Amino acid sequence: LAEDLLAERFLAREQGSGTRTLMERFLERIGGGRSFDVIEMGTNETIKQSVIAGLGVAIISAHTCLTELADGHLITLQVAGLPLVRQWFLLNRADRAPSMATQKFKAFVLARRAILLPKV
């Protein structure tokens, strides 16, 4: 059950991180105001290695841990309400036409979005 997660120690990025914000909103939603234990870490690599070492659990972007999932060093937990879905946007200035570099980058991302942001 999602509520069972509240007993776990969470390893997370710094305050202000988008993933951290989504994690906190999810835990507040399932916990109804109960507190949860969070240890802040500076990098996704540190978080992954700490989970592998058994120091806690993490809600982390799937694309950052594809290798560890494929190798069996990490697993995904099937929990109601997860995965948390984020949207990605390509932005450019409204007052200028996109440069050739911007146009090429946009075409690159759109052509490869399934590879760049795979589903786990």
CB atoms near residue 101 (< 10 Å): 8
Which pLDDT tens digits describe the chain residue by residue (120 residues)?
777 888 899 999 999 998 899 999 999 988 887 888 999 999 999 999 999 999 999 999 888 999 999 999 999 998 888 888 777 788 889 999 999 999 999 999 889 887 776 665
The letter for the amino acid at 73 is H
Q: The pTM is what?
A: 0.74
- Residue 96 is predicted with a pLDDT of 94
* CB-CB contact of 62 with 83 (8 Å): yes
- Residue 60 is predicted with a pLDDT of 92
SS (H, E, C) 38-96: EEECCCHHHHHHHHHCCCCECCCCHHHCHHHHHCCCCCCCCCCCCCCCCCCCCCCCCCC
- Residue 118 is predicted with a pLDDT of 61
CB atoms near residue 77 (< 10 Å): 11
- Residue 97 is predicted with a pLDDT of 94
* Helix, strand, coil percentages, rounded to 5, for the chain: 45, 10, 50
| CA dist., res. 105 & res. 61, Å (int) | 22
* CB-CB contact of 30 with 5 (8 Å): yes
